[in-house]
Amino acid sequence: GAVVSQHPSWVICKSGTSVKIECRSLDFQATTMFWYRQFPKQSLMLMATSNEGSKATYEQGVEKDKFLINHASLTLSTLTVTSAHPEDSSFYICSAEGRSRNTEAFFGQGTRLTVV
Amino acid sequence: QKEVEQNSGPLSVPEGAIASLNCTYSDRVSQSFFWYRQYSGKSPELIMSIYSNGDKEDGRFTAQLNKASQYVSLLIRDSQPSDSATYLCAVISSGSARQLTFGSGTQLTVLP
């Protein structure tokens, strides 16, 4: 299947700093990328949807100024957690899909963010 | 009201048995349905996709879709301890710009 690479796989940062997470589609053009957050023992919650070349669409309750998403190319989307706080500690997962209507979304490996 | 419902479990089955996982969804015009497996600390891995009524088999896995009843299920035959994971049902609903809506997941444990 298609490969989506997410980096880093884990990161520890100090409160107040910013962290950037990258999501790359390695063997297909991702017209749409999705960013999810998952807290322990909970399901994936969609944070935002990004289409290449346009502004991301954020889900209700997700602060767009705190979670900056850039989808500058068909193979790369980035999520920057700005001024991170301990409550932002979570598992962040991206997924990407191509142009076909019925294509499945493929997930990156996830990034475990710990804010201390 | 949740759009995708799953029993959270935990569900325990002995090795070699059939594990049955169920999921219901609320959007009647949903068209695409997926089952993902997620091991602890890992991202979801696609197991099955199904788009039309009936059964779809892939190895030990069978997905069943009943749009009239708005439910989709996953059967795992000859369950193995390595199947122990959380299984997530996901649906792409109409008018949702192809966003996956996930159920809360069912934790499955296969006992050796």
Residue B53, CB-side half-sphere exposure with 13 Å CA sphere: 6
Q: Does the pLDDT of residue A36 top 70, yes or no?
A: yes
pLDDT band at residue B9 using 50, 70 and 90 as cut-offs? confident
**B14: closest CA of chain A, how far (Å):** 23
Residue positions counted in chain B: 112
Which range is least confidently modeled, A24-28, A95-99, B5-9, B84-88? A95-99
Under 8 Å between Cβ of A36 and A95:
yes
Closest partner CB to A46 (pick from B34, B88, B99): B99
**Angle, CA A91 vertex, CA A86 and CA A93 arms, to 5°:** 135
Torsion of CA B107, B48, B51, B54, to 10 degrees: -80
Q: Do A42 and B88 touch (CB under 8 A)?
A: no
Chain A CB contacts of B49 below 8 Å: 102, 104
pLDDT band at residue B8 using 50, 70 and 90 as cut-offs? confident
- Taking any CB pair shorter than 8 Å as contact, residues of chain A touching chain B are 1, 6, 32, 34, 42-44, 46, 49, 57, 91, 93, 95, 97, 101-102, 104-110, 112
Q: Does the pLDDT of residue A102 top 70, yes or no?
A: no
B14-73: per-residue pLDDT in tens? 999 999 999 999 988 888 899 999 999 899 999 999 999 999 999 999 999 999 999 999
Which range is least confidently modeled, A3-12, B1-10, B11-20? B1-10
